[in-house]
Amino acid sequence: MTLLNFVSIVLIATMLTTASAQGGIASCCRKTSSRQFHRDLLKSYYVQEQPACPLQVVVFTTLKGKKICSDPTSLWTKTSMAYLDGKNWQMQKLTSQRSHH
């Protein structure tokens, strides 16, 4: 094996390891789900961005750890994001009030 081949293999292995450690392409949503969960079952969300992944979607995580890939333009997605944002804001406010007393 030449030095160039060895260096190439090491670089590729490093890139793949880094990508998988950060969630990588394998964790990208490839399509959206039309399934809607009750908002009380949702824990959090994040926006999957391009170009890291092929689609821009909102990924919800349920209390049981299930991932739901949702269309960012749908009404359910927007209201669910607002619900979680409000829920998190209320929790931060309560935590802040408790720490001042």
Question: Sign (positive/negative) of CA torsion 50, 55, 57, 62?
Answer: negative
CA angle 12-15-17, nearest 5°?
110
Please check whether residue 46 lies inside any domain of the structure: yes
Please check whether residue 86 lies inside any domain of the structure: yes
Tokens of 61: 């995580």
Collapsed DSSP state (helix, strand, coil) of residue 54: coil
Tokens of 51: 């170009």
Digits of tens for pLDDT over the chain (101 positions)?
Answer: 676 655 456 545 555 443 443 445 568 999 999 888 899 999 999 999 888 898 999 999 999 999 999 999 999 999 999 999 987 765 666 566 666 55
Tokens of 101: 């007393």
- Return the CATH number at 38: 2.40.50.40
Please check whether residue 27 lies inside any domain of the structure: no
Count of CB atoms situated within 10 Å of the CB of 82: 11
Q: Indicate the number of domains in the chain.
A: 1
Please check whether residue 97 lies inside any domain of the structure: no
Q: Which of 26, 29, 18, 20 is nearest to 61 (CA)?
A: 29
pTM: 0.63
Please check whether residue 24 lies inside any domain of the structure: no
Please check whether residue 43 lies inside any domain of the structure: yes
Q: Which domain holds residue 78?
A: 32-92
Please check whether residue 83 lies inside any domain of the structure: yes
